[in-house]
Amino acid sequence: MRIKLFDTTLRDGTQAEDISFTVDDKIHMARLLDDFGIHYIEGGWPGSNPKDMEFFDKARSMPMKNAKITAFGATRRAKSSCEQDPSIQALIKSEVPVACVFGKTWDLHVRDALGIGLDQNLEIIEDTIRYLSAYFDEVIFDAEHFFDGYKATPDYALQTIQAAAQGGASYIALCDTNGGSLPWEVSDVVAKVTDMGLGALGIHVHNDSETAVANTLAAVKSGATLVQGTVNGVGERCGNANLISIIPNIQLKLGHQCVSEDNLKKLTHLSRSVQELANMNEWKNQPYTGKSAFAHKGGVHVSAVMKNSETYEHIKPELVGNIRRVLISDLSGRSNVQHKLQELGLELAADDPAVTEIVKEIKRMEYRGYNYEAASASLELLIQKTRGQLGDYFSPRSYRIIDERALPEGEPVSEATVQVELPSGDTIHTVSLGEGPVDALNGALLRALSSFYPVLEEVHLIDYKVRILSAKKGTKAVTRVMIDSSDGKSHWTTVGVDSDILGASYTALVDSIRYKLYKENF
């Protein structure tokens, strides 16, 4: 069975707290969605705001490979004809191929929200769909609050979608607008509506009960062929049904086709691209596309996965464009280290005693507070040092930092002094000013070493993170610092731990410099 995908990230998704897209953002996302293979892209509500109208103006000239741009609106007002209703006319002026309009299906809303008679609401639904059908290739009816309406007054809820069918709706999307339904309820209702033979059905659910994905799958199992949702599940309140989970579940688990196999491999790229455009925090544990979705930490797990990935993975990560990751931590065993060595291109036999020593050293360092899961550069240095394969590039001897601020309004100035010893035995003593103590330390280290290692002039910091590991100890707490560095060609992450934040920073900075020299084969 072919399942059509209806994305409403650009409309319903923007109703999420803290999410706002510019017109350019929406155009960019529309291209991503089209390239992925989405069938309908709901761009917004024409006439409701200038941003949505500008989007439709630009979207009309966009070449589309797979998707149909869709305009959203409501059924006509009770006291207006379709010809006079501004919202209906704004839909037509959007000049896109598809319209999606919602109407009331719960008698509670008809009486209390609209303040009209039940029969009049039926007339409005049928009249609106029939009128718009003359202007659009397809008209989709969103049966708002359908599941709540069906629970309250099933006969009337069914009459509303019958009216939409009589008006010529291309799809009737049954909506769990409040997000309170459960999968078996959705399955039962969709099955009953399917048996009525009203035409193609869709499903649109919200996630207020943490069941939106399950409800969508239940609807598909019962006959729905149009799936509405948003990328990463963004949306009002607790969000909409998450297409990033729904699509692979439908395609890989239910056996229905949504997109091509090649496009399914773009799922991770789509998810993370929208995260960036929406300025969302990374969702590492997101099923299928999160960085942790196929990450293995326990030694027993890693050993089994390396023999047969099916032991601890429900699908192959490459099917959705993700990758397997093996994490190194105090839970690691020989298998974790062997896998990491292979990733780093380091040849070491499984029975080599060095593997055991590396595992011991990692666990010792993690006991002190180090974490190598996200600091692969420090991990590689630790492995090579344990193997005796790390060069003696320089030895840190001492550092001193002075922070000065001319009160009351002067800018702070940090001064760092470092001493390092070169392999020749010469000691270099250097001073540097910086915007803060870490910047000053970094400047002093690079100044001390760059005359002997000119490649270090390429290195600069791009990110700096601090975590307090034992907050209850107050100012005596152990601190972990992670530093991202770059030379313009690649970037790497190093870690330092100390009871002093500057000591932790210094360790991470020294590792960053050593890693650059190690990679340059000095």
Contact 218, 249 (CB under 8 A): no
- Whether 308 has a pLDDT exceeding 80, the answer reads no
pLDDT, greater one: 112 or 477: 112
Q: Which residues contact 45 (CB under 8 A, 6 or more apart)?
A: 11, 52, 71, 72, 73
For the segment 1-33, what is each residue's pLDDT rounded down to a tens digit? 899 999 999 999 999 988 888 898 899 899 999
- Whether 302 has a pLDDT exceeding 80, the answer reads no
Greatest C-alpha distance within the chain = 94
Mean pLDDT score of the chain? 90
> If you average pLDDT over residues 507-520, what whole number do you get?
94
pLDDT of residue 241: 98
pLDDT of residue 273: 86
> If you average pLDDT over residues 359-379, what whole number do you get?
81
pLDDT of residue 336: 65
pLDDT of residue 270: 94
Confidence of residue 279 (pLDDT cuts 50, 70, 90): confident
For the segment 92-137, what is each residue's pLDDT rounded down to a tens digit? 999 999 999 999 999 999 999 899 999 999 999 999 999 999 999 9
Give the residue ranges of DSSP H helices in 297-375: 299-307, 334-343, 353-367
pLDDT, greater one: 332 or 478: 478
Residues of the chain above pLDDT 90, percent: 66
Q: Which residues contact 13 (CB under 8 A, 6 or more apart)?
A: 19, 230, 231, 234, 235, 240, 278
> If you average pLDDT over residues 451-476, what whole number do you get?
82
> If you average pLDDT over residues 396-402, what whole number do you get?
94
DSSP state letter for 281: P
For the segment 121-132, what is each residue's pLDDT rounded down to a tens digit? 999 999 999 999
- Whether 471 has a pLDDT exceeding 60, the answer reads no
> If you average pLDDT over residues 376-391, what whole number do you get?
88
Residues of the chain above pLDDT 70, percent: 92
Contact 270, 9 (CB under 8 A): no
Highest-pLDDT range among 40-49, 125-134, 377-386: 125-134
**What is the token pair recorded at 299?**
């030694």
Residue at 185: amino acid letter: E
Contact 58, 27 (CB under 8 A): yes
For the segment 212-257, what is each residue's pLDDT rounded down to a tens digit? 999 999 999 999 999 999 999 999 999 999 999 999 999 999 999 9
Domain positions in the chain:
40-223, 295-387, 395-519
DSSP state letter for 206: B
Confidence of residue 327 (pLDDT cuts 50, 70, 90): low
Q: Which residues contact 211 (CB under 8 A, 6 or more apart)?
A: 179, 181, 182, 183, 205
pLDDT, greater one: 463 or 344: 463
Q: For residue 154, say if its preceding peptide bond is cis, omega within 30 degrees of 0.
A: no
For the segment 246-278, what is each residue's pLDDT rounded down to a tens digit? 999 999 999 999 999 999 999 998 998 898 888
- Do 395-519 and 40-223 fall under one CATH topology? no
**What is the token pair recorded at 197?**
């033979």
Residue at 339: amino acid letter: H
Q: Which residues contact 448 (CB under 8 A, 6 or more apart)?
A: 418, 420, 428, 429, 430
Q: What is d(CA 167, CA 169) in angstroms, rounded to the nearest whole number? A: 6
Question: Over the range 412-434, which residues count as b (16 or more CB within 10 Å of their CB) and which as e?
Answer: eebbbbbbbebeeeeebebebeb
| CB-facing half-sphere around the CA of 379: CA atoms within 13 A | 25
**What is the token pair recorded at 493?**
């992450």
pLDDT of residue 203: 98
> If you average pLDDT over residues 433-443, what whole number do you get?
92
Give the residue ranges of DSSP H helices in 430-500: 437-450
Q: What is d(CA 181, CA 145) in angstroms, rounded to the nearest whole number? A: 10
> If you average pLDDT over residues 466-472, what whole number do you get?
73
- Whether 355 has a pLDDT exceeding 90, the answer reads no
pLDDT of residue 383: 87
- Whether 90 has a pLDDT exceeding 80, the answer reads yes
Q: Map tokens 């990758």 to a residue.
A: 323
Which of 3.20.20.70, 3.40.640.10, 3.40.50.620, 3.30.420.40 is the CATH number of 40-223? 3.20.20.70
pLDDT of residue 76: 96
Which of 3.30.300.30, 3.40.190.10, 3.30.160.270, 3.40.640.10 is the CATH number of 395-519? 3.30.160.270
